[in-house]
Structure 1
Amino acid sequence: MWKTFSKSYLLLVFFFIGYVNSMQAKLIVKSPDSLFVERLHQIVKIKKEKKRIKQLDEWFTKNINNGSFLTFYSFNEILKENLAPLWIKYCGQIVDKLISTQGLEVTKDWLTGLKDQGIANREVEQMLVSLIQASPEQANPVELIIHWYALNQQWDRVWLQRKALDIRFKSGGKEVSDFGIASFQRQQWPLVNQIFDYLIKNYPRSPQLLNWKQLLLASREQSIQNKMVIEKTEFSNLIQSYRELRKDRGNNAATAETYLSEARIFLYQLNQLDSAERVYQKGIELSESNINLQAQMKLELGDVYLYAGRKYDALIQYAQVEKLVKDSPIAYEAKLKTGKLYYYTGDFELAKANFDVLKQSTQKEIANDALHLSWVIEDNTGIDTLETALKSFATIQWLYEQKKISEADLALDQLLVKQKGQSLEDDILYLMAQRALDKKQIDQAKMLFKDIYDRFDQDIYGDDALYQYLKLIDYKDKDLGLQFVTKYPSSIYLQEIIFNLFRP
């Protein structure tokens, strides 16, 4: 009886499963794009060309409203059948209808949808170009291709079309200016230079002219700074442009920032300390209404005095900055510079007092610098009463600050020979590794950072050296990365190491 029941039960189960599967099969409904592609393949097989072309046109026309040929799947199948011209034709009809019935912004959103679908750039571009050629007097097709290029981050093409549109319709430069400002925010300096140069030449009476000139100057400055080799004439031209801008706008609070830019060229690029001092002082006079700008210029004027070896003038500027903008990032930077100046000139007790205050700073980089320098002093004082080695090392660091690079490099090599096996050796090696990076000697830098980690992993540069080494090898040594995580759980580099260690 049990066997009979079991067999009956099994038959019932199989019947039920078969019934469910047949019901599911009936419930499966093919998607519109699947149906479109299925019929497309059937039509393509038609041998008579006229009949095939006619049915393809009819099939695309029938599906123009449901968008079934606009999905990624349909699009790729259309390309496989070499029917891109048909897709371009009917896609163009959709765009025409959207513009006329729903407007430009809705059509832009529709294009964004195509981009999101993964539709290839080339075919959409061809479709938009054909619309421009069909209606050259219309601005909307050009706006659409500009939007498409922007979606694909083809900024040079955006600029060519934006400029052509501005020339053709004499629109006053507003859209070009907006694009220029957006390009400035993206830091696309060569492109920014072209845009604002065009605006200044073509709209000399615009109320925005002076703003455009100022943006162009800032962009040119960035372009020059990003060059590997810079001619001095480029800086001279930039300085002349700042002066012409002030001539146009006057010497006032609005142009005070140009003094900061000009002074930086004299200080950091041309090493003309007297000229830098004069320009900073004039800028400080004009920036009384902007204490943050004034504090920045006072801070950098202190650097002028530092480079010139005028210790006490530099200390006065740094102290004024601390007083002017208390408990601000600039104030903390001024205190750090004060501590460093005491350190460079061998006043280690005063230097350490400043560094110890900054160790609790909310500015991580400043706190880290202060902590390191405080440890350097702590580790290397009291060894000999004259503190000769540390003073020599600090003097070398000051030479680097003063841009006396060759003299500093030679002195550093000589100091390493004298300090082999001494407490200052790791400090000297770390500075040498940094110099190797500055000189693009990557293999030398890797070797030095690895050596510091291998020999001094528990000293103050342990985490810094391993971090720099891992960066230089693009975090490919996972074992060393895991060593970093376990050895230095409180390092400021920990999150970056973890992120790069476990990235896909």
Structure 2
Amino acid sequence: MRRFLLLFTFCSYGIIFSQSEQLADDYFSRGEFEKALLSYQKLNEKKKNSKYVYKIIETLQQLERYNDAEAIIKQRMIEVNYPSLIVELGFNYQLKDSMNIAKTYYQEAILKVNENPSYTYGIANAFEDHSLLELALDTYKAGMQRNPDLNFNMQMARIYGEQGNIELLFSNYLDYIESKPAFQSQAKRVFSDFVSEQKDSENNTILRTLLLKKLQSNPEPYWADLLSWLYIQQKEYSKAFTQEKALYRRNPESLSRILDLALTTTKEKKFDIANSIFEFILDNSQDIDTKLTAHQYMLELEIQNAESSKLKDIDEKFQQLFEAYGLYEQTLALQIAYGNFLAFHKQEPKLASEFLKNSLKLKISTFQEATVKLKLGDILVFQERFNEALIYYTQIQTNLKNSTISQEARFKVAKTSYYKGDFDWAESQLKILKASTSQLIANDALELKLLISDNKDEDSLQTALKLYAKADLLSFQNKNEVAIVLLDKILLEHKGETIEDQALFMQAKLYEKTKQIDKAVASYSYIIDNYRDEILADDALYYLAELYENELDQPEKAKALYETIIFKHQDSIYFIEA
């Protein structure tokens, strides 16, 4: 019991002490320096602490009681051997406008580094605390000169960044990496604040020049890695590929980095370079899974850009791969891709379903079975056999509760119900999914829920919403031109209703998909001009900017739209990208 009381008393004292410190800090932050001084003095009386001494000095300086501050600094210098206190004394004289005396103390502090280089960090940090950045740099340089084993390149780089000297910031980080290559990941995070997609920008040019010099004088793999990273930031994927090939030849054990680059170029729709990278992977990989991944992505790239006359050739390529690698567990992803191709591109959903049902007979895991059933459900939705699709999706939810694929299946249940026109049931499912552990699913669920809730009560027959859901289904079925015509009907017959901007936005996306870029621009522009305060305004701004930047080669127009997002839509999901 006594031990408990002692423990309780000790904890209570700690809490009260912490609260007293917070109160002192609050007084200081509010500019109530007399109260802050009294509080810090009481804290220091109860528990001697360097932190409180420095706060007392700082508070006295705020009160312009410089002589009192000097007395405490000098007393502290007697008590402890902290050379950084010499900086504090010099700064106190600087505040008194005695700059010549201040400089004398500053030089004395730097000379202490020559006596003992281990003082470097403390002294330099004291200079930094008072924004005396040049003196901090002098201190770090002196310490490294006195003891070459010390490395303050990172601290110096940070100061150069604060001063806006980007070349020296880059140079010092690179020097630090030379001694500690593992630091390159952290350096990339820092560099990302200073480089951009514009390869000819001053900062990009500086970093590229420094890296090329490093690579020429000391061809270590981390320089090629950083140069590849820079080229990726600049979207110069061919040059990044050149560096990645050089890295691979030095260490041919893994193609994972090159595969990552291939996936990046695929995502960025740089199909020619993506194909080249996948071909390199096929030529150099001995791993079947890697080869299958490359084959699958190459086929999917071909499908995206294929005219109907080429679909037969693509089908034959799938067949050749199945003959070469077989129909078993390892080729399951390729089988699902083939089922998708048959249904959504060759418009042969029955054949696709039969093929994938055979995939279910293979010795596969519960998760793999769920991925096949997910695609089978999609194909049934394509055929508008909604109830049968719901059976597959529900089976996945039952067999893999709380998993990401289970949440995806629940979203597809909601989407299928929405296609059917059962908006209440769809909305009830979407409410649950708003808390999904998958951010992507949660975002999609919220978006669809808002669409339904904003439009289902406007018309008791829900005519416009049903037409919109039908157009959405047609888009899912790859019947894009028919969907565009149906959206025209909504825009004509339901003009002025809340669904109008949604219809315009979907139509704009379909125009993009069907390469009708001028019409997409017109639709996005109409939303921006007439619905600037509505929920899709930032979406329209972003996608129109992307068209100007990537399709129409009009970067100035794109820049103006990105700036509109930054200044008028700070809460937009596109804010960071803009």
Q: Using the alignment, how far apart are the partners of 2:467 and 2:322 within structure 1? A: 43
Equivalent residues of 1:332, 1:366 under 8 A apart:
yes
Q: 1:362-441, aligned counterparts within 5 Å?
A: 362-441=437-516
Q: Using the alignment, how far apart are the partners of 1:146 and 1:368 within structure 2? A: 40
Partner SS for 2:576: helix
Among 215, 220, 235, the residue aligned to 2:298: 220
Q: Using the alignment, how far apart are the partners of 2:458 and 2:222 within structure 1? A: 68
**1:354: how far off?**
1.3
**Segment drifting more, 144-153 vs 426-435:** 144-153
Letter in 1 for 2:320: S
Residue 384 of structure 2 aligns with which residue? 309
**1:311: how far off?**
0.8
**1:369: how far off?**
2.5
Among 364, 371, 374, the residue aligned to 1:296: 371
Are 2:520 and 1:445 equivalent residues in the alignment? yes
Are 2:543 and 1:459 equivalent residues in the alignment? no
Q: Using the alignment, how far apart are the partners of 1:460 and 1:117 within structure 2? A: 44
Residue 341 of structure 2 aligns with which residue? 265
Residue 190 of structure 1 aligns with which residue? 275
Residue 313 of structure 2 aligns with which residue? 234
Residue 330 of structure 2 aligns with which residue? 254
**1:310: how far off?**
0.6
Residue 575 of structure 2 aligns with which residue? 494
**1:424: how far off?**
2.2
Letter in 1 for 2:506: L
Residue 41 of structure 1 aligns with which residue? none
Normalization by structure 1: what TM-score?
0.58
**1:356: how far off?**
1.7
The Cα offsets for residues 72-94 of structure 1, whole Å up to 9 and x where unpaired, read as xxxxxxxxxxxxxxxxxxxxxxx
**1:442: how far off?**
3.5
Letter in 2 for 1:480: T
Q: Using the alignment, how far apart are the partners of 1:152 and 1:465 within structure 2? A: 35
**1:397: how far off?**
1.5
Q: Using the alignment, how far apart are the partners of 1:220 and 1:260 within structure 2? A: 15
- For the structure 1 residues 184 and 357, does the alpha-carbon distance in structure 2 shift closer, same or farther, using more than 3 Å as the test? same
**1:358: how far off?**
1.7
- For the structure 1 residues 175 and 192, does the alpha-carbon distance in structure 2 shift closer, same or farther, using more than 3 Å as the test? farther
Letter in 1 for 2:536: Y
Equivalent residues of 1:372, 1:460 under 8 A apart:
no
The Cα offsets for residues 24-64 of structure 1, whole Å up to 9 and x where unpaired, read as xxxxxxxxxxxxxxxxxxxxxxxxxxxxxxxxxxxxxxxxx
- For the structure 1 residues 255 and 406, does the alpha-carbon distance in structure 2 shift closer, same or farther, using more than 3 Å as the test? closer
- For the structure 1 residues 287 and 413, does the alpha-carbon distance in structure 2 shift closer, same or farther, using more than 3 Å as the test? farther
Identify which of structures 1 and 2 has the higher relative contact order when contacts are C-alpha pairs closer than 8 Å and 6+ apart. Answer: 1
- For the structure 1 residues 378 and 246, does the alpha-carbon distance in structure 2 shift closer, same or farther, using more than 3 Å as the test? same
Q: Using the alignment, how far apart are the partners of 1:423 and 1:191 within structure 2? A: 47
Residue 25 of structure 1 aligns with which residue? none
The Cα RMSD (Å) is 4.0
Among 475, 481, 485, the residue aligned to 2:565: 481
- For the structure 1 residues 239 and 145, does the alpha-carbon distance in structure 2 shift closer, same or farther, using more than 3 Å as the test? same
**1:180: how far off?**
5.3
- For the structure 1 residues 358 and 458, does the alpha-carbon distance in structure 2 shift closer, same or farther, using more than 3 Å as the test? farther
Normalization by structure 2: what TM-score?
0.51
Equivalent residues of 1:307, 1:401 under 8 A apart:
yes
Equivalent residues of 2:258, 2:281 under 8 A apart:
no
- For the structure 1 residues 156 and 286, does the alpha-carbon distance in structure 2 shift closer, same or farther, using more than 3 Å as the test? same
- For the structure 1 residues 179 and 237, does the alpha-carbon distance in structure 2 shift closer, same or farther, using more than 3 Å as the test? farther
Among 337, 343, 354, the residue aligned to 1:278: 354
The Cα offsets for residues 138-162 of structure 1, whole Å up to 9 and x where unpaired, read as xxxxxx8999998876688789999
Q: Using the alignment, how far apart are the partners of 1:478 and 1:311 within structure 2? A: 41
Equivalent residues of 2:259, 2:281 under 8 A apart:
no
**1:353: how far off?**
1.0
Among 330, 333, 350, the residue aligned to 2:405: 330
* Identical amino acids, percent of aligned pairs: 26
Equivalent residues of 2:244, 2:258 under 8 A apart:
no
Q: Using the alignment, how far apart are the partners of 2:225 and 2:494 within structure 1? A: 58
Letter in 1 for 2:298: R
- Report the count of equivalent residues: 345
Q: Using the alignment, how far apart are the partners of 1:149 and 1:301 within structure 2? A: 45
**1:269: how far off?**
2.9
